[in-house]
Structure 1
């Protein structure tokens, strides 16, 4: 082991974010192929200034830092790739294509099952994660886990009529 090996660390945060992007990629790929199942729908927020983001100029003017899109009732041309996804959404009377790289994503929430994930950004100098602003969805806030107790045995007879 060298001295530089002793100071090196495993970047679990970065690895976890890559794994979550892979999970979201798989979910969106399934939706692109078969549509949204049941009540599932997604809120996806992303950095509109991230390299590779491609949105209409009027949308960037309206959302100069970040934007949250909803994939629910109407969306078209969902294309999932290794580097990100593209989708066409309806904004009033205008249908607009959007291109979102995975690295631009800030949050992904499926409120139908209370699943959400918030990505952290790296500092410009790459020294470590910087928490992003407050998550816009209550479902993303972690609630304290209730204290564990011994399991109760329940007889099913009490539920029969």
Structure 2
């Protein structure tokens, strides 16, 4: 089974949003038996907490569920257990790379799956307050990631 772990700093804004959006895309494409998804943070400040209210509000407005999503910290075993580790920004990439002892083959930036974008990372709405911008980038990135997975794996 293919597996995707989305990673941000605290696992309450960007990565749980990506997990929920990607899970919704998998359900719509009838691929939940072929691809699993989860999210984690590089920090432990919010472990056990639900997604940020701004994330929940935006996802509810889009009809996307956050049921069952609670913050957790990334664990070294995640690097062995997930096919794709998808980070939101450069700091997350560096933190995950350190955890992976420098091995970066399965670590990707979400924006790398967005064609023709000028964004180099997904801005953190914890600081910007712009959950619309984050949702737009996350949705585009998840769409591109799913297309990449389908192109490179015989799952359909």
TM-score in terms of structure 2 length: 0.28
Q: Which has the higher contact order (CA 8 A, sep 6+)?
A: 2
Please report the TM-score for the alignment, with normalisation by the length of structure 1: 0.28
Greater C-alpha Rg: 1
More strand by share: 1
